[in-house]
Structure 1
Amino acid sequence: MAQFKLVVSDGTGRSISQELKDRAAQPLVGVRIGNVIDSSVIGIEGGKVKVTGGSDKSGVPMRADVHGGVKKYVLMSEGVGAKHLEGGRIRKLVRGNMVTEEIYQLNLRLVEGKLPEKAKEEAPAEAEAKAEPAKEKKKK
């Protein structure tokens, strides 16, 4: 059965992470990069999300211009999976643009709606108070 780690972000830079397993993950199988789906599928009510990418269990990135759900060696000069080639080209292993059961992480962008608030965030003053005793021990 499918199991995905979802990273959902909005336009402001906030993001949330959640996991979907088995039946909850089945509606995402077969979706392609660039498709817009209803966010209720992933548990966020009243919105839409766009699939922007992902990677499989071994860390191989998905690439939008490779069709299907297969792994392929592709000759590329820039884009997803190719960093700092400075004019050169390289043959790299990438995964296709279709979400399959081999995909581990799926990146989504919120197109409509709002991200849910976190349950309880720690206040900055409380975080500093916890960090100070550790600093004092190091000084002695």
Structure 2
Amino acid sequence: MAFKLVISEDSKSHQVEVDTAKDKKLIGLKIGDEIDASLVGLDGYKLKITGGSDKNGFPMKTDVEGPRRIKSLLSSGLGFKPKRDGQRRRKTIRGNTISVDIVQINTIVTEKGAKSIDELLGASEAEE
């Protein structure tokens, strides 16, 4: 199984695949945690986890603790856009902790390195 790590920088986004069999450093982290991006080949960069989704497409939400999946009554926000005032709906959402069931992890750049992400990712793609 592999994570798709989506890295957003200004108006650009980059997608990197991280193998969980080799690197289990992401499992157990929560939304809002900062990670060193050198584990995906981006030396000097720091990334902040902003969300993600699991293998069935359910989004991660910061309010729900742990890696569990629950049905929550939502009136607005992540996972539900109400069509009229006062509308609520029970939707399935995932907790804020990364587990093996998570497929996509969304991140933003909080600290930039010496080289650009395009240069660092382009060099790693050329080697493969």
2:59 aligned partner: 61
Return the TM-score normalized by structure 2.
0.84
- Structure-2 separation of matches of 1:50 and 1:42: 14
Of Structure 1 and Structure 2, the greater strand share is in 2
**For 2:46 and 2:39, how far apart are their aligned partners in 1?**
9
The CA deviation string for residues 66-124 of structure 1, in whole angstroms up to 9 with x for no partner, is 1100000011111111123432111100000000000001101010015411539xxxx
Query: What is the CA RMSD across the aligned residues, in angstroms?
Result: 1.6
Which has the larger Rg?
A: 1
Corresponding residue for residue 102 of structure 1:
101
Q: What does residue 81 of structure 2 align with?
A: 83
- Structure 1's unaligned 5+ residue stretches are 121-140
Match of 2:126 in 1: none
Q: Is the 1:77–1:85 Cα contact (8 Å) retained in structure 2? A: no
Richer in helix (by share): 1
Runs of 4+ in 1 over 2 A off after TM superposition: 84-87
Match of 1:41 among 21, 39, 42: 39
> Structure 1, residues 24-76: CA drift from partner, whole Å, max 9, x if none?
3x100000001111111222110210000000111011111111000000111
